[in-house]
Amino acid sequence: MSAWREVAEGVFQRRYDPLDISISLIRGTAGVTIVDTRSSPAEAQEILAHVAADFDLPIVAVINSHAHYDHTFGNQVFAGQTGVPIYGHHLVATHFQQFESPRLKRQQQDPAREPDRDWATVVLTPPTVPVTHRTRISPAGRDIDLIPLPPGHTDTDLAVFVPDQRVWILGDIVEESGPPMFGSGCFPFGWPDVLEELLTEIEPRDCIIPGHGSVINRDFVIAQLADLRATAAMIRDGWSRGLSIEQAVAAVSDDYPWPPQVLESALRRGYSQLSSG
């Protein structure tokens, strides 16, 4: 566990285990905004404690970078205790119903499967302010742009931009401390286009906080975009040659940057999208 790191004036990142997840804090004149809420109410309580210890300001808003559990399962604490607005992509509630809710139910019914996790206390809490289009908010007097993205890492990705310091908070559309995650509900073919479109706005001097890992710059995003493009091409190639997922994984070239499991989950998801037309 780390301390808050000020990555630009009044914009902080704190990295938490498990998962080396980034929690971001944007300081305004009369309060702070928190991006992402971790995996459980207990983990979210820890964020509240750390904010209270290190900032003499109330939390005035919360933003979800996307629907995945490690970024949203602490939402209920903020909704309940601080009662502040929670902003998120307008499809988060639907994504919860489709993916997070059935998985959470299975986990809650069989806690022995993951004894180190605290699923029992989680109550799914979608954003209270669904964001449908690019929106500027000014919590505590500081401008923040919320940019709902087309389907990529999920169909709920929301880029957060702090214009006065040119800081981007991008959730898991880029990851630094591990390979990007091709989980359920990802879009391996659309994902590279999402990054490419975003790169038209990202400048070389900009600071970028990824969902997991340390702060990165534009060049890092360009490199990860190339790897995502290569992955999409490999899926299409395997599909067109009639390779099974196992054969396609085995056929991967030596310079492929990510472990076979990463490619395998990308293939699984890509093949199912290609087969459904």
Under rule CB under 5 A, residue 175 binds Zn ion:
no
Size of the site for Zn ion (CB under 5 A): 3
Under rule CB under 5 A, residue 70 binds Zn ion:
yes
Under rule CB under 5 A, residue 43 binds Zn ion:
no
CB atoms within 10 A of CB 91: 23
For Zn ion, the closer CB: 96 or 271: 96
Q: Distance (Å, rounded) from C-alpha 142 to C-alpha 138? A: 5
Under rule CB under 5 A, residue 100 binds Zn ion:
no
Smallest distance, Zn ion to C-beta of residue 139, A: 23
Smallest distance, Zn ion to C-beta of residue 65, A: 8
Between vectors from CA 224 to CA 158 and to CA 263, what angle results, nearest 5°? 95
Closest residue by Cα to residue 165 from 203, 117, 210, 216: 203
Under rule CB under 5 A, residue 20 binds Zn ion:
no
Listed in sequence order, the residues at least 6 apart from 126 whose beta carbon sits closer than 8 Å to its beta carbon are: 72, 75, 86, 88, 92, 93, 96
Under rule CB under 5 A, residue 36 binds Zn ion:
no
Smallest distance, Zn ion to C-beta of residue 183, A: 9
Smallest distance, Zn ion to C-beta of residue 21, A: 6
Taking the alpha carbons at both ends of the chain, their separation in whole angstroms is 44
**Which stretch, 7-15, 68-76, 122-130, 146-154, contacts Zn ion (CB under 5 A)?**
68-76
Q: What does the longest C-alpha to C-alpha distance in the chain come to?
A: 60
**Which stretch, 46-54, 63-71, 232-240, 253-261, contacts Zn ion (CB under 5 A)?**
63-71
Listed in sequence order, the residues at least 6 apart from 209 whose beta carbon sits closer than 8 Å to its beta carbon are: 7, 11, 13, 22, 24, 167, 168, 169, 170, 215
- Mark residues 178-217: x for contact with Zn ion by CB under 5 A, - for none: ---------------------------------x------
Contact (CB, 8 A) for 215 and 207: yes
Smallest distance, Zn ion to C-beta of residue 71, A: 6
Residue 168 has, within 13 A of its CA and on its CB side, a CA count of 24
For Zn ion, the closer CB: 62 or 248: 62
- Mark residues 154-173: x for contact with Zn ion by CB under 5 A, - for none: ------------------x-
- Residues near Zn ion (CB under 5 A) are 70, 172, 211
